[in-house]
Amino acid sequence: MDRDAIETLIAEFRAAILENAEYSSRALTDPARKTDPPRANRAFDRSHELYKQLRATPEGREAICNLMSDPDLFVRQAAAARALFWKPDEARQVLSDLIKQGGILAFESELVLEEFDAGRLTFDF
């Protein structure tokens, strides 16, 4: 996969994560926003399909890892959850930092680490 293809996929992956967060987790923390589970689910499904394409190459995995420093915390959390499988120390640090901040991302990050440590976390679906 060439660099342009990776850049396109990672931009679409990031956008799908943001859309999922907009209509799910972020909406739960902001009363001005409205949840939309069907839309959130479609965005998650799209992000998952993109993730599977990206994880297939070293360049794609590195692009996901680069999102662990994204300015948006929801993107950071999603990238770290997936990067646990190939950069566990870095991903664990990102998730631990999110836990310290409290809120919905702390709760989700705790669950991700618990499931990963128990050997139950998977994105193979």
Q: Which of 71, 96, 57 is nearest to 17 (CA)?
A: 71
Domains and CATH numbers, the chain: 3-117 (1.25.40.70)
Quickly state the pLDDT bin for 35 (edges 50, 70, 90): confident
Is residue 20 within 8 A of residue 44, CB to CB? The reply is yes
Q: Number of H helices and number of E strands within the chain?
A: 7, 0
Q: 32 — phi, psi (to 5°)?
A: -80, -15
User: pTM above 0.85?
Assistant: yes
Q: Which of 7, 33, 32 is nearest to 20 (CA)?
A: 33
pLDDT of residue 17: 97
